[in-house]
A and B are shown apart, each in its own frame.
Chain A
Amino acid sequence: MRGSGYVVRRIVFAVITIYVVLTLNFVLFRVLPGNAVTRISRVPNASPKLKHALEVQFGLDRPLWVQYGRYLDQLFHGNLGISYVNQRPVFDNLRDALQNTIPMVAIGTVLALVIGVAVGVLSAVRRGTVTDHASTNLAVLFYAFPTQFLGLMLLMMFAGVLPTAGMSDAFAINPSGWSHLVDIGKHMILPVATLVLTLYAENALIVRSAMLETLGEDFILTARAKGVPRRRIIRSYALRNAMLPTITLIALSLGSIVTGAILIEVIFSWPGIGRALYGAVLARDYPMLQGGFLVITITVVVLNLLADLLYARLDPRIRH
């Protein structure tokens, strides 16, 4: 009973958060310094006639609450506005960009998780040894390197060996299904490697500390006293429990995965959501920026909700 109460509370909170994000998205582009019309027209000293025409066109002459209502109504119909830059619906732009981002980020995140857990468990189990010191210090170092620095270094190291820009070879003539896929895979190596290098370290450090904390608990001492084999203690007792805080923390860092993806996409010209956002910033394409913020935020909120629910399923103590 109390368990379902927790689930309902999390879902309600996620829904409220998304509503707040929607509203913030509306407010943010209106309250920040700078007149909306000036920004839309991108002409600082536009004539009053042009200004008025723009105001009417964008409905800015209406009362604020009418604008807000219209904004929400449009959103529910999937209308995020029209990009200033390519005159396409923002929704279509974002959908195409997300389709390119998701495979790259998903592969990178999973690899970083696998490597991070392996390294973290290894150094927690061998704690105090040379292995532990080396892998922990290396992780701290990689954790400290800015993403763009790692990306650029990889780019320079492998320029000429691996493709460093874009998602596929633009000059390939009629690529067939398989060779096209191989081409995309090759293009993906460097961006994914950068993502893994920036993410694995944090995961390894989190897993290591969670493992150490679990290994310090009394049930481990009991298990040892009972003569449970070491391997079994690590796998069935410690790792299982250590994965719980790991899942939450990784869920919390989903936001930073988005950041990493933005920087990586900019460096490797990956045509994803990050680069779309970057382009929107450079071109001051506000509808794009607004839509991108909305889509990324809602994605992260939903993923966080899923992680929360997973966490509650794995650890019944959480549902308080």
Chain B
Amino acid sequence: MSTTVTSTIGVDTDADLGSGAWRTIRSVLRQPSTIVGLVIVGLFVLSAVLSPVIAPYSVSQSSCKVFAPPSGKHWLGCDDGGIDVLSLVLHGGGVSMIVGVFATLICMIVGAGFGILSGYFGGWVDIVLMRITDYFLVIPQIVLMIVIAAVWGPNLSHVIVVIGALMWTGTARVVRAQVMSIRERAYVRRVEALGAGHLRIIAHHIIPQVGPLLAANAVLAMTVAIFNETALAFLGLSDPTAITWGTIMEHAFDRAAAGAGAWWAIAPAGVAVALFIVGCYLIGRSIEDALNPRLRVSYLSPRSWTLRPLVGRGPEAI
């Protein structure tokens, strides 16, 4: 008897949720900034996937003079080893994105785990987990990243783990706040009263509800991960043999591209990072705004709506 009722409620909320999620997606897609973001990110992903085919030159063999300026043959010039910069940036994009995706994955698993457990169970679990989160929020993460990466050794998988394991705090806090409010909703209380276990409630009612929020957070975490990778790489703590946007810049700096005035050895990778981050940012912002439309009202000059900045990282996001 009770199982029937539980499943009915389950179906009910699932159907409701389905249309809710669909509404979110539609309202996200209606914003022009989403389209711009999707186009930018899409182009980058496409170029990274196709880089073996579309890269004009090999990235392991020199094809022109050292620090040759941009020309018809080499659109973005050449680096210190006479390697075509355009090919390097195309190749590096894929590796940078892989680092970003895996670091984000770690960040999402840890952050969502912390947030869900602490928001769902409350009490001591919440206190302990949130103190740990506070702690990670306060210490300067990049310095810890540098220290760990330096002690652990330069290796791409180390870089991924270090970045992912240190940037989940924002996610944990945002998810916790959301879970706390979902947990208090009547239907979750009802399902609980009907005897559903914690695991079932979390899996069927909590996780699907925080889905869109996690998606927004993941896209924004991507930007932080890629940023951190370039910073670590620049300090010589990434894998020296891997080609990423970060190591391209580090390499050029290391081999005195700046002194040679060879801006083309540095600028393309930096611009690629910036464009990719703007793309992710636009998408992430749009999802967050679809979830929280409150900010569209201003009583001083109620005109139109534009970008909202990255505020989700602080306690204000709660």
Interface residue from A137, A144, A230, A256 paired with B307 (Cβ < 8 Å): A137
Q: Are A213 and B295 in contact (CB under 8 A)?
A: yes
B49 in the interface (beta carbon within 8 A): no
Fill in one digit per residue for B302-318: 1 if any A CB lies within 8 Å of its CB, else 0: 01111111110111100
Fill in one digit per residue for B274-318: 1 if any A CB lies within 8 Å of its CB, else 0: 110110010000000000001101111101111111110111100
Interfacial chain B residues near A21, Cβ < 8 Å: 139
Spot the interface stretch: A41-49, A91-99, A274-282: A274-282
A258 in the interface (beta carbon within 8 A): yes
Identity of the chain B residue whose Cβ is nearest the Cβ of A297 in the assembled complex = B139
Contacts A156-B258, A259-B231; A149 near B266 (Cβ below 8 A): yes
- A226 CB to closest chain B CB (Å) equals 12
CA distance A148 to B131 in the complex (A): 33
CA distance A252 to B141 in the complex (A): 11
Q: Are B140 and A206 in contact (CB under 8 A)?
A: no
Identity of the chain B residue whose Cβ is nearest the Cβ of A293 in the assembled complex = B147
Fill in one digit per residue for A253-273: 1 if any B CB lies within 8 Å of its CB, else 0: 011101100110011000000
Chain A count of residues within 8 A CB distance of the other chain: 84
Q: Are A262 and B146 in contact (CB under 8 A)?
A: yes
Identity of the chain A residue whose Cβ is nearest the Cβ of B278 in the assembled complex = A144
Interfacial chain B residues near A255, Cβ < 8 Å: 138-143
Q: Are A149 and B273 in contact (CB under 8 A)?
A: yes
Q: Are A215 and B298 in contact (CB under 8 A)?
A: yes
CA distance A280 to B299 in the complex (A): 53
B1 in the interface (beta carbon within 8 A): no
Interfacial chain B residues near A126, Cβ < 8 Å: 301
CA distance A17 to B144 in the complex (A): 14
- List 21 A-B residue pairs with CB atoms under 8 Å apart, sorted by A's residue number: A32-B151, A33-B152, A39-B151, A145-B270, A148-B230, A148-B270, A149-B249, A149-B266, A156-B258, A215-B299, A216-B297, A220-B300, A221-B299, A255-B142, A255-B143, A256-B140, A259-B142, A262-B142, A262-B231, A263-B231, A286-B151
Fill in one digit per residue for B257-271: 1 if any A CB lies within 8 Å of its CB, else 0: 011010100110111
Q: A17-B138, A17-B139 are in contact. List 11 more A-B contacts (CB 8 A).
A: A128-B301, A144-B277, A146-B270, A146-B274, A159-B258, A215-B301, A216-B299, A230-B300, A255-B142, A267-B253, A300-B139
Fill in one digit per residue for A133-148: 1 if any B CB lies within 8 Å of its CB, else 0: 1001101110111111
B153 in the interface (beta carbon within 8 A): yes
Q: Are A278 and B227 in contact (CB under 8 A)?
A: no
Q: Are B137 and A252 in contact (CB under 8 A)?
A: yes
Spot the interface stretch: B63-71, B190-198, B210-218, B234-242: B234-242
Q: Are A28 and B151 in contact (CB under 8 A)?
A: yes
Q: Are B270 and A293 in contact (CB under 8 A)?
A: no
Identity of the chain B residue whose Cβ is nearest the Cβ of A120 in the assembled complex = B309
Fill in one digit per residue for A2-34: 1 if any B CB lies within 8 Å of its CB, else 0: 000000000001000100110000001100111
CA distance A256 to B259 in the complex (A): 28
A74 in the interface (beta carbon within 8 A): no
Q: Which residues of B contact A (CB under 8 A)?
A: 131, 134-135, 137-144, 146-148, 150-153, 223, 227, 230-231, 234-237, 246, 249, 253, 258-259, 261, 263, 266-267, 269-271, 273-275, 277-278, 281, 294-295, 297-301, 303-311, 313-316
CA distance A256 to B275 in the complex (A): 21
Fill in one digit per residue for A146-170: 1 if any B CB lies within 8 Å of its CB, else 0: 1111101101100100000000000
Q: Are B308 and A209 in contact (CB under 8 A)?
A: yes
- B231 CB to closest chain A CB (Å) equals 6
A187 in the interface (beta carbon within 8 A): no
Identity of the chain B residue whose Cβ is nearest the Cβ of A237 in the assembled complex = B300
Q: Are A202 and B310 in contact (CB under 8 A)?
A: yes
Contacts A32-B152, A33-B153; A128 near B235 (Cβ below 8 A): no
- B238 CB to closest chain A CB (Å) equals 12
Interfacial chain A residues near B151, Cβ < 8 Å: 28-29, 32, 34, 39, 286, 289
Interfacial chain B residues near A155, Cβ < 8 Å: 258
Interface of chain B, main secondary structure: helix
- A85 CB to closest chain B CB (Å) equals 14
Interface residue from B139, B144, B223, B303 paired with A128 (Cβ < 8 Å): B303
Identity of the chain B residue whose Cβ is nearest the Cβ of A278 in the assembled complex = B235
A233 in the interface (beta carbon within 8 A): yes
Interfacial chain A residues near B134, Cβ < 8 Å: 13, 17
CA distance A263 to B142 in the complex (A): 11
Interfacial chain A residues near B141, Cβ < 8 Å: 255
Q: Are A212 and B311 in contact (CB under 8 A)?
A: no
A245 in the interface (beta carbon within 8 A): yes
Interfacial chain B residues near A152, Cβ < 8 Å: 249, 253, 258, 266, 270
* Residue of B141, B152, B307, B309 with highest tally of chain A CB at under 10 A: B309
Q: Are B298 and A212 in contact (CB under 8 A)?
A: yes
Q: Are B143 and A266 in contact (CB under 8 A)?
A: no
Q: Are B258 and A149 in contact (CB under 8 A)?
A: no
- B39 CB to closest chain A CB (Å) equals 16
Q: Are A208 and B309 in contact (CB under 8 A)?
A: yes
Interfacial chain A residues near B230, Cβ < 8 Å: 146, 148
Contacts A215-B298, A216-B297; A296 near B140 (Cβ below 8 A): yes
* Residue of A132, A152, A224, A277 with highest tally of chain B CB at under 10 A: A152
Contacts A13-B134, A33-B152, A289-B150; A205 near B301 (Cβ below 8 A): no
Q: Are A282 and B236 in contact (CB under 8 A)?
A: yes
- In the A-B complex, the 8 residue pairs with the smallest Cβ-Cβ separation, listed nearest first, are A205-B309, A149-B270, A128-B303, A255-B140, A259-B142, A128-B304, A144-B277, A144-B274
**For residues 280 through 320 of chain A, which have their beta carbon under 8 Å from a beta carbon of chain B?**
280-282, 284, 286, 289-290, 292-293, 296-297, 300-301, 304
